[in-house]
Structure 1
């Protein structure tokens, strides 16, 4: 039978995902036996007691129950700016949160993400090259699915790494090509190590097609320096690799000496020819940062220098799932466009954000 173990897709059996592996399963058994277990296998702050930020939950609550907006007492329960934002997001949807959106996500929210990226980096961002996804992980899977054609295709992945990458590469039948971060250099990377990894992979008949960076690092926590990012981008240019920038922890910075800087900003700063030729896909999510909204599954990826015909194919792949989670799209809009000074909810939002950063 097709679903007998011996007949399963071998890639499924090879795939390993340690954060939900044997230790997790054993811990779940102990929990069923009445033992108190604290699960720290994944970044899941709300499960460990972090309280949700008030303002985004107020806005999404109103979007989920729009009849509340017609209640004459709504202003006694919700601040005026939350009411206004709920009306704004409902005006962007076709049928509220219960209806599918565009497969790429709500255009108005994608525009807000583009504006956030432009404020962050100082360079324009095109909403048409931004796809909203059910968390950054789903976006990573979509892109790797388009890159990996078979076991002869390799993906450069940092070690240590978040096992999403090793698991997905195995599942898709590709080959993981490890490169090693240097703990003595604040978990930076040596381009010579990258060259060695690529040369070794090629000697085994593997075509290296993409490189993953996790910046800030997971599980290492470092921010890559601007100099390191320049080396990486130059390396990707010379080797014709697409760079996958996992930047989901960009708002979780706990060291003063090295701030986060996005791969896109560094790429644009480098100018021609790199700024027009290096292919880059960058990822972010509401699961991380000071929001910790892991259960909402909201994320995005932005594509830079990806040919239009390829964008069309990625859109086709996204369309198979019909639509990303609509409420999570609104969470994303609120994350990239939070209350501003002078807004009614700004002071409370700022206090709550300070507690959780």
Structure 2
């Protein structure tokens, strides 16, 4: 088509689409428009609609970042624009984000990250010699000497070796670095291992046993992958203990619909804050071995143990020391730099250790991981600082130990403060926070409050949390987002606000609860 004809066609089409009806001018000979002419424009349908997307995505829920958290963000923006509220700020007690709640970074970690990010600081910066040497070692392990390069899909070998050394020191038993895989936080490696179970056997869906209350990553991931959630209840009356009788009940009830193939244990617990005893861990291992279950040991809070008499034992350590046949159990153990004393959530560093996994299965897991290229190399560098902290006698050791101790001691005090405060409030019962970063108190709601919730089409604990947010700016997560025993109501709050803010939060909480109870008495 000539350029003139192209111009005429475009001009004519333009007038058709805009409704123009005047006769063609001299530049548009051959094109006649009648007053009643029109063009029917077919609206293109969407390739993806709510009716044809993956139905598993529709089932997926993640309460920690759910509707109440979205509303909390909206309120923050309203306050920034000058909106008048009965409070001046939103307190984000809904998520375990330590630095967002005022925790200071560990100096050694940040100094190493600074040097690997800008290598000229190694020579120009005023950093301790062990920081500079660590940065040199990490850069030597990176392609092209830069953290901007890809690493191996399962992580830099040097860091994997350091993680294996950390695990060996922790447990007193050897660890093969080839069984360590680095990841973008623990969540990524948990999901990668869960994907291995995505197949039906004998016409039944694969089932994974998950504690209730649970960290919603598990229920969300199982829904996403089309796996069957097999819920077992923790015993609140026994400080959220784990009963083998309950494990047997849950497994037996699920067998008609699912092939129960794996068991998830979170220790220390999220959202419940319990720390399992060694005897309890041994009984869980015996149960898993008896039924041939793959064990997921979510141990990301292993540094966060506060209560007197409580101690962290890794599942790997216990099953190794139990000996045959229990030391043959298939296990994936997860760790993260997001928790502990580090709180480096945004760096997305973590690892999984695979124990007794069949070599060809492990090879295929690594193959699957390779499709994601590699975890953040800066996150891997943070992992290295956690796995191999400054040793006694090195220049950075004293400051590192002082900062680590200060963080954990403060968390211990806040854990005590939050449990004591809730237990003094009418209608509350809060177990001691033995570890992790959360309290999960039970609340007795007045019948009239439950009626009001029903009228608004909300679950009672969601109704309570919504009122709390709108009237105090305190953002918590309703217990229904984690699962809870039928007929009970809870919520999860972090212990992470720094002590002055935590006192302010608890004072506001007490005032709100007194008014709420009076309103619905």
Matching residue of 1:22:
67
- CA distance in 2 between partners of 1:110 and 1:147 (Å): 25
Q: After TM superposition, give the deviation of residue 8 of structure 1 in Å.
A: 1.2
**Residue ranges of structure 2 left out of the alignment (5+ in a row):** 1-45, 80-87, 409-521
| Contact 1:104–1:315 (CA under 8 A) maintained in structure 2 | yes
CA RMSD of superposed structures (Å):
1.1
2:120 to 67, 83, 99: 67
Report whether the alignment pairs 1:131 with 2:181: yes
1:216·1:249 contact (CA, 8 Å) conserved in 2? Answer: yes
1:214 aligns with 2:275: no
CA contact under 8 A between 1:154 and 1:175: conserved in structure 2?
A: yes
Q: Is the 8 A contact 2:114 2:121 kept in 1?
A: no
Preserved CA contact (<8 Å) 2:332 2:352: yes
Q: Which residue of 2 aligns with 1:288?
A: 339
1:148 counterpart residue number: 198
1:70 Cα deviation after fit: 4.1
1:300 matched to 2:345:
no
Secondary structure at the residue paired with 1:33?
Answer: helix
TM superposition score normalised by structure 1: 0.96
Give the match's secondary structure for 2:152.
Answer: coil
1:121 alignment partner, one of 168, 171, 180: 171
Correspondence list, 1:303-322, <5 A: 303-322=354-373
Aligned to 2:325: 273
Tell me which moved more, 251-260 or 145-154: 145-154
1:83 equivalent in structure 2? 132
Q: TM-score, normalised by structure 2?
A: 0.66
C-alpha offsets along residues 37-63 of structure 1, whole Å, 9 cap, x if unaligned?
121211001001111111110011100
Uncovered stretches (5+) of structure 1, i.e. residues with no partner: none
Report deviation, 1:148. 2.6
Residue equivalent to 1:184? 237
Per-residue CA distance 1:267-319 (angstroms, 9 max, x = gap) = 1011012212x100000000000000000000000000000000100001110
Matched, 1:243 2:295: yes
Cα distance in 2, alignment partners of residues 281 and 148 from structure 1: 17
Q: After superposition, what is the alpha-carbon deviation per residue over 1:210-245, rounded to whole angstroms, capped at 9, x for unaligned?
A: 000000011111111111111111111111110000
Deviation at 1:20, TM superposition (A): 0.6
Computing the radius of gyration over CA atoms, which structure comes out larger, 1 or 2?
2
Deviant stretches of 4+, over 4 Å: none
How far apart are the structure 2 equivalents of 1:110 and 1:81? 20
Please say if residues 2 and 8 of structure 1, whose CA atoms lie closer than 8 Å, have aligned partners that are also in contact: no
